[in-house]
Structure 1
Amino acid sequence: MYKKLGVYLKEFLYSTKKLLKELLSFPEATKAYGFNEIIDINSIREINESYEEKISAIDGGTSEIIRLPTFSIVLNRIYCNCFIGMKKLDYFDRCTFISLTRMINDNGKIFYETKILHFIEGELNIKFPIVDSYSEEMRIGKNRGDISRVISMARRFGEWEFVRNALKSGAKIILMDGSLQTSFPNESEFVKQIYNEVEKNNSIIAGLSKTSTIFTENGLPISGFLEYLGRRKGISKWAVKIGKSEEWTNKALIYFVKLHENSDRCYRLDVYEKVSEEDIEKLLSSLVSNSKYFAYPGYPYALIDAHNLARVGRDEAIYIRNLIFDLLDIEDIKRIENSEQIAHKILDELG
């Protein structure tokens, strides 16, 4: 078929090559779209291993037990550890709990309520806000947000609450999995309390993201541009500050970091804005010291450990589901199974 296309295919290939070269032509300087810092080759700073502070990493995991259009029962787990360099210390904490998120119809207005039904291990002292489905954070275009946008709130607020537990480890650095960006109603107000406690403890709070959709004002992926600058400067472990977002309310300075010479990628790093330059040095240096795992160089091992021990296996959720079903009549079970969004799950599994 391609031979028949002949000269037309050749013209297409060469025009595509020209287009890609134009699109991937990096400027000398630019900004990340929506951010305030100008980025050029002088923005790249080398990270030195002059500090090795204690790091406590926090992550969470979830698996749905039962999900209907109007309510969802979810198995959640939150975990934190403590490392110095690549050495894992004795301190850790973990909480596993079952949460319920359900729809409330209040005179035609749809709200979502989340509460903890049962603690399997550990405890959390937390009360979740009632969420208006038409709130700015929940809406999808002009449509109200459905329950799928709310069920992760128990895990997210639990991770924030676990910062208090992580501080008990004596860690200088609290490292969250993902960004510090807030997305739920009342989350920003809740997080302010957490930030205040971190400040009083003279600690640093940061969040590391494995992926990022941030791009430059020229429309280029920010990570590709920064890798290009790093190669030009001849630095293998570096950090670049891209600044504060004009849109987000997460009170964070955004950096991109490359933490190991053999890493094939850089990562987005959010750092609470009230941080000194000395603490930034301590944070970056300590992350480099913790990012030497041979199977995944350049990614903090504390986060790998937290991810593995916070993960909720599907078999765990199914086990609890079966215990619930054992107490129900056959007719009730059929109603649940008929109401669940099985078709969507099958399509998702088929990819």
Structure 2
Amino acid sequence: MIPPEQSDLSAIMSWMERIRPSDLAQRFAREGGFDAESFQPCLPGFAGHISAVDGSNAMVLESGSFSVAAVRAVETTFHLGARVHAGETPLRLVRIGPEKTNEGYEDLYFECFGDDPLEPLENEDRSRAAAVLRDTLEYWTLSRVAAILGEGDVLLIDGTLRVNHGALRQVMKRILTDARRKGVHIAAVTKAATSTWGDGIPIVQSAEALARESGIHGPWYLEIPPHLLDAVHHREWHFESVYVASLHRCSPRAFKVDLPEGCGTTEVSAVFSALSAYADDGRVTGYPYPLFDAHRLAAITADQTESVRQELRGRMAGMGMQESDYTSYFGDYHDEFARY
């Protein structure tokens, strides 16, 4: 193997030095106006219900002109540390392409929300289209769960309070409005946050560095002022106030947590009490385990994907397609390359 170009390695390391400077904690404190008092403790005690929603998508078939994606969403609900309910949507199959816009999305959106999407879903980026289809089922599940939770309960989302498609903006606004009216708290937890400050410096790692420098031990949370965050596209698709939180004293990592804009101090404190109360699972210490449970239930495994693929192949055979036809439509030459 030819080794990588030394100048390329140097360029990468130069960037790493830029986003991880030796004075990271001090710069973060100065630019954000933080000190040790900025870190708030997660107070003990939460007796309500906490529900988590997650979704999954997988490509079942891919050809040059179109793909078939499988999507689903799940919810799981805990009370006093024990799971009391779990449910999932049917596994849905949607064709992506070759048309410019996705007709299946319009059907799915109508099934979920009873009206037509305000914006079509473009098929050009198939991975993004599959993610939007998944999000649609997730938001439908969110709306159903929010309707049955009560005052003081918490509803968790895997990811952010940021929609990835314009048609979902009104759906998210409606979910947040209905939840606030009922007194249901909503929070989104990001496993791999992309938010930055200072033109590219990661927010979560900066907060972790400042906590260490200040001698702050978890569980804690830190509110990030909007002016500190780097600019983002489609600000009108965002609904969040941003926090960083370390949810357990033994947690190896902190996480970005989004709460709806306009939350009061009491509501914020209640949410982080709930998150820390459910962050002591030894498998994922510091991560809210209702979300971990939802992730495990939602994941479309390789075996499940293959089972759906074989079901489709069987039906294709029933309509007269030969193996050579299937290979012509869905064969991947990378599989041939991998043999050598």
Please tell me the TM-score bracket, short chain as reference: 0.7 to 0.9
Q: Does 1:25 align with 2:14?
A: no
Alignment of 1:1-351 (within 5 A): 23-30=21-28, 38-89=33-84, 91-103=85-97, 105=99, 110-115=100-105, 124-125=112-113, 129=117, 131=120, 133=122, 145-170=124-149, 172-217=153-198, 219-231=200-212, 232-244=214-226, 246-247=231-232, 248=235, 249-329=237-317, 331=321, 334-340=324-330, 342-343=332-333
Which structure: greater strand fraction?
A: 1
1:142 maps to which residue?
none
The answer as to whether partners of 1:256 and 1:267 remain within 8 angstroms in 2 is yes
Measure, in 1, the Cα distance between the counterparts of 2:286 and 2:20: 31
Measure, in 1, the Cα distance between the counterparts of 2:173 and 2:326: 40
C-alpha deviation, 1:127, in angstroms: 6.1
C-alpha deviation, 1:208, in angstroms: 0.3
Which structure: greater helix fraction?
A: 2
C-alpha deviation, 1:165, in angstroms: 2.2
TM-score after normalising by structure 1: 0.77
Residues paired across the two proteins, number: 312
TM-score after normalising by structure 2: 0.79
Measure, in 2, the Cα distance between the counterparts of 1:83 and 1:285: 15
Where do 5+ consecutive residues of structure 1 fail to align? 1-11, 139-144
Amino acid at match of 1:153: V
Amino acid at match of 1:209: T
Measure, in 2, the Cα distance between the counterparts of 1:313 and 1:21: 36
2:6 maps to which residue?
none
Amino acid at match of 1:113: E
C-alpha deviation, 1:320, in angstroms: 2.2
SS of residue in 2 equivalent to 1:93: strand
In structure 2, relative to structure 1, the CA distance for the partners of 1:220 and 1:65 (3 Å cut) is: closer
The answer as to whether partners of 1:32 and 1:242 remain within 8 angstroms in 2 is no
C-alpha deviation, 1:338, in angstroms: 3.0
SS of residue in 1 equivalent to 2:157: strand
In structure 2, relative to structure 1, the CA distance for the partners of 1:274 and 1:29 (3 Å cut) is: same
1:5 maps to which residue?
none
C-alpha deviation, 1:346, in angstroms: 8.5
Measure, in 1, the Cα distance between the counterparts of 2:148 and 2:87: 9
Amino acid at match of 2:40: R
Where do 5+ consecutive residues of structure 2 fail to align? 1-9
SS of residue in 2 equivalent to 1:111: coil
SS of residue in 1 equivalent to 2:196: coil
* Same amino acid, percent of matched pairs: 19
The answer as to whether partners of 1:97 and 1:116 remain within 8 angstroms in 2 is no
Measure, in 1, the Cα distance between the counterparts of 2:44 and 2:130: 40
C-alpha deviation, 1:252, in angstroms: 0.4
The answer as to whether partners of 2:106 and 2:120 remain within 8 angstroms in 1 is no
Amino acid at match of 1:235: H
In structure 2, relative to structure 1, the CA distance for the partners of 1:193 and 1:295 (3 Å cut) is: same
The answer as to whether partners of 2:70 and 2:94 remain within 8 angstroms in 1 is no
Measure, in 1, the Cα distance between the counterparts of 2:170 and 2:19: 46
Amino acid at match of 1:28: Q
C-alpha deviation, 1:80, in angstroms: 0.6
SS of residue in 2 equivalent to 1:151: helix
The answer as to whether partners of 1:80 and 1:92 remain within 8 angstroms in 2 is yes
SS of residue in 2 equivalent to 1:164: helix
Cα root mean square deviation, aligned = 3.4
Amino acid at match of 1:156: D
Measure, in 2, the Cα distance between the counterparts of 1:159 and 1:284: 23
In structure 2, relative to structure 1, the CA distance for the partners of 1:75 and 1:132 (3 Å cut) is: closer
The answer as to whether partners of 1:288 and 1:300 remain within 8 angstroms in 2 is yes
Measure, in 2, the Cα distance between the counterparts of 1:269 and 1:128: 31
Q: Deviations over 1:290-319 (max 9, x none)?
A: 111122211111011111111112222222
Amino acid at match of 1:342: D
